[in-house]
Amino acid sequence: MPSITFLIVLHNHQPVGNFDDVFEAVYQSAYRPFLEVLDRHPVVPVGLHVSGCLFDWLETRHPEYLESVSRLRERGQIELLTGGYFEPVLPAIGEADRFAQIARHRAYLESRFGATPTGLWLAERVWEPDLPRTLVDAGIDYTLLDDSHFQTAGLRSEQLWRCWVTEDQGRALRVLPISRELRYTIPFRPPETTLDLLRRRAAEAPDRVAVLGDDGEKFGGWPDTHRAVYEDGWLDRFFTLLEENQDWIRLRFPGDAAAAEPEGKVYLPAASYPEMMEWALPAREQIRIHALARDLEPRGPEIAKFIRGGFWRNFLARYPESDHMHKRVAALRERVDDLDRRKTAVRQRILDRIHAAQCNCAYWHGVFGGLYLPHLRDAVYRRLLEAETLLEEQEHEDRSWVEAETGDYDSDGHEELRVANADLTVVVSPREGGSLREVSYKPLAVALTNGLTRRREAYHGRVARAVVRGSDGGPEGGSIHDRVLAKEAGLQNRLHVDAYRRASLVDHWLRGDARLADFDRGTHGEQGDFLGHPYEVSIARSDQGVTALLRRTGTVWKGGEPHRVAVEKRLRLAAGASRLEAAYGLELLGPVPLDTRFGVEWNLGLLAGDSPLHGYRIPGVEPSASRLGSRGVTEGVEEMACVDGHRGFEVRLRWDRPATLWRLPVETVSLSEDGFERIYQSSCLLPHWTVALDPGEVFRVTLSLEVGRIP
């Protein structure tokens, strides 16, 4: 009977900042029972990669799992693979950090298990052609990539069952192709289906190598898989079949297959697994590529393989919030290089936090929540702000400092403004209406503006036909890529899309008849050309602090007639203060009086819209109606607060003219493993005023944001 080599490689990972109960649930449903079943089948070898952030949690909560791994490894049943410790996308970080992340993970495996790994699990299989040099110089002999990587390089389907070699600058790296058909079959089809697949592939050519490389969470942690994999005995049956068919299925470690003579040399383009490359495209293009793939499918896989999406870095262009975090971490990393290298201990503490902030999960979005999960973004910000605080303590002798500087921090061809003191870091985008991209409170390492803009996603067209999980007719089983479920009914009515980036100090000119619901849906009809348009910026320094002057002359429409208006806002930040002030002046330049409504939007992301520990404090509004997920209109407001009782602080907003205050939650509809879900991203607050201006008259209002701890 024709034979085939079969490799099983599992990747276990939980993001930095994920909830402890999520770690625990996946441990109990997937990680622990998989090893228990594996233990009952001693002839089945498995390649195993566990990320450093998951190892950290296991050391504290379930060291018995690590003992099981050690015992099974000593028995010759587990080969450990290394990777970046905090599971970064390696091409997205600098060379020094690539080496540091891999070295830390390898050192842990050597110390904890006595293992010297030669294989590396590449986070999200994000490949760029310069990686062989990095990996080989880091002591790596081989990695695994999806078969689609090889197909886009021009290899035929029959060539995808061998080990290949690639290189960069003379560093040769072995690469094993992961089978997509195995990923989609295991464990969603009966075990016999996989055996039939392996039998067919073995019959096609001798000495083939079939590789299953996938997330360990799919064996019990994905929806409905625990029952099938363990309670119904899928994994036990599968391993038993492998044992019973060893006469033609050669069970090996990935390192054994990678050490064999390679089939040949191949140069692979920048890529990831097919789903990731689709998700990286703009929503409209995702829909088009699906349609194109359907049209070409009848022409066979040798034509369809050339259809590919974007690549991972496209997420930084699709989601400016992701790009902002990425560039903030990168800029901070550069500042570390200027730190006195003799300060070894503090330098390492800073780098530890920067490396944790490089965990990939909060930077992208596909089937998994990723970027759409506020607590994952918060975890990135927390680490980078802790690192920033440690670094600033070395850069400044005491807390009596304040600084301002401009630069193209996000490399988009436009300058931003960074204003900071010991308490606050503020990043201003003059190009985007002089708005605040970030306001962070460093004593508690909290990004107050950790929100997300509502955008159209390719899967939004399926929301209306999604079945509510648990209702009659809800689909069970199958791959998460094929399911259309929802966590609640009516989500199609919440698919609002923002026409501008959700930020703070966003200037609005409103129609007289605009209402809160119109503003929520984005149908309020902006009456000025200030929103999202560039402001000029200049900086003044004094003994009292730093003032940034932002100014734009534009047009406000009323009754179909244009009015020239100059808007000036002065941002003031003093040394040692946790208070940011914005003084506005609106001057009518034209000859005709103007009656209008002017508002200043804040978006504060405090993680929990429905928690009793989080809420508003607004005069005249009952506490029972004041959670951050509430919405409403309150007249005559001069001050308010957003309270985060969980982390122990409040954000106080004040303005020196009574205003009409609109408040509403910014909620997205996104896709997760469990289906479509509504997620609170931030609280939108819009104080606004009726403004009546005669020619040459100036309307003035001063707003402030102040952060303070609460008992």
Q: Which amino acid is at 407?
A: G
Task: Please tell me the distance from the alpha carbon of residue 323 to that of residue 332, in angstroms, as a whole number.
Answer: 14
Task: Please tell me the distance from the alpha carbon of residue 203 to that of residue 15, in angstroms, as a whole number.
Answer: 41
For the chain, how long is the longest CA-to-CA vector?
A: 93
3-class SS at 350?
A: helix
Task: Please tell me the distance from the alpha carbon of residue 510 to that of residue 500, in angstroms, as a whole number.
Answer: 15
Task: Please tell me the distance from the alpha carbon of residue 573 to that of residue 549, in angstroms, as a whole number.
Answer: 12
Active site residue 215: yes
Give the DSSP H or E segment for 419.
strand 416-421
Select which of 97, 124, 147, 410 is catalytic: 124
3-class SS at 371?
A: helix
The tokens for 584 are 């506005």
Active site residue 124: yes
3-class SS at 276?
A: helix
Q: Which residues contact 592 (CB under 8 A, 6 or more apart)?
A: 561, 563, 695
Query: Which residue has 């909560």 as its token pair?
Result: 61
The tokens for 580 are 């940011």
Task: Please tell me the distance from the alpha carbon of residue 134 to that of residue 108, in angstroms, as a whole number.
Answer: 19
Buried-state track 614-630, b at ≥16 Cβ within 10 A, e below 16? bbbebeebeeeebbbbb
- How many CA atoms are closer than 13 Å to the CA of 331, on its beta-carbon side? 15
In angstroms, what CA-CA distances link 145 with 17, 108, 165, 457, 537?
27, 24, 12, 27, 47
Q: Which residues contact 130 (CB under 8 A, 6 or more apart)?
A: 91, 168
Task: Please tell me the distance from the alpha carbon of residue 561 to that of residue 261, in angstroms, as a whole number.
Answer: 77
Cβ proximity of 190 and 228 under 8 Å: no
Task: Please tell me the distance from the alpha carbon of residue 507 to that of residue 584, in angstroms, as a whole number.
Answer: 10
Select which of 215, 243, 263, 403 is catalytic: 215
Task: Please tell me the distance from the alpha carbon of residue 214 to that of residue 480, in angstroms, as a whole number.
Answer: 13
> Which residues belong to the active site?
124, 215
